[in-house]
């Protein structure tokens, strides 16, 4: 008595089982070449800028360059091999974070820097950052800033300071060197002075909101 069907099935099963590891290995062999050229790491952002963001409590588990970013806090250029930050918004900051000169130095590709409800102490900005900044905002942030400190940001086209005390003898201190300024909004800063620059006029005297013409 020779039962013919079961052995055939067994043989097929054996063939299948013996093929299976080959399929597995061939798949695992094919994976590295397909994945490595496109995205070698989890982020496309310059590693130094990634570190700087981490020091500022910006989550970096997801690539900060992918839009929309976490709370729209970061925007990048498209340079290679690493992308660089163009825009950074620090909102609702924890009081435990602080700005460091080295972190700001590695963030010197920023064109826009915004502080919203970010009560951290302002520090001297590295020259590279003051050159690159075109837009600066401090709303209810930075404790208190000086007019001289602001005046260093001479390449600004947009400046907004609101609910942030400014220490200056007058607006001239801030604006004298900002030749490219297009939009200026100053409100609730305790800065009291006559705004006699012809490019600037009051739109709302009570809250001291100003815009250039």
Find the part of the chain contacting ligand NAG (CB under 6 A) among 23-31, 34-42, 69-77, 198-206: 69-77
Phi, psi of 211 (to 5 degrees): -140, 145
Instruction: Please identify which residue in 60, 112, 146, 212 interacts with ligand NAG, judged by CB under 6 A.
Output: 112
Choose, by CB under 6 A, the member of 43, 49, 87, 208 that binds ligand NAG.
87
Neighbour tally for 44: CB within 10 Å: 19
Sheet of strand 135-139: strand arrangement = 74-76, 85-91, 112-116, 135-139, 158-162, 183-187
Which tokens belong to 86?
A: 């163009």
Query: Which residues in 149-208 contact ligand NAG (CB under 6 A)?
Result: 154-155, 165, 190
DSSP secondary structure letter of residue 25: H
Window contacting ligand NAG (CB under 6 A); options: 7-15, 40-48, 88-96, 168-176: 88-96
DSSP single-letter state for residue 67: S
Q: How many residues bind ligand NAG (CB under 6 A)?
A: 16
Whole-angstrom Cα distance, residue 7 to residue 5?
6
Which is nearer to ligand NAG, 103 or 191 (by Cβ)?
A: 191
Task: List interacting residues with ligand NAG (CB under 6 A).
Answer: 71-72, 75, 87, 89, 91-92, 112, 117, 130-131, 144, 154-155, 165, 190
């Amino acid at each position: 008595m020779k039962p013919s069907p079961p052995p055939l099935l067994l043989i097929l099963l054996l063939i299948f089982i013996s093929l299976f590891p080959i399929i597995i290995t061939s798949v695992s062999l094919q994976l590295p070449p397909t994945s490595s050229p496109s995205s070698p790491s989890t982020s496309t952002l310059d590693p130094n800028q990634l570190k700087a963001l981490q020091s500022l409590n910006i989550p970096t588990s997801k690539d900060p360059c992918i839009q929309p970013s976490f709370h729209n806090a970061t925007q990048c250029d498209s340079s290679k091999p690493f992308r660089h930050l163009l825009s950074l918004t620090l909102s609702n900051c924890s009081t435990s974070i602080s700005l460091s000169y080295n972190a700001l130095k590695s963030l010197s590709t920023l064109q826009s820097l915004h502080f919203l409800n970010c009560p951290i102490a302002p520090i001297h900005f590295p020259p590279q950052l003051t050159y690159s900044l075109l837009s600066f905002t401090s709303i209810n942030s930075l404790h208190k800033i000086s007019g001289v400190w602001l005046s260093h940001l001479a390449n600004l086209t947009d400046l907004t300071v609101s609910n942030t005390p400014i220490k200056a003898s007058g607006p001239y201190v801030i604006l004298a060197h900002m030749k490219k300024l297009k939009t200026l909004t100053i409100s609730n800063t305790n800065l009291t002075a006559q705004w006699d620059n012809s490019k600037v006029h009051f739109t709302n005297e009570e809250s001291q909101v100003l815009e250039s013409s």
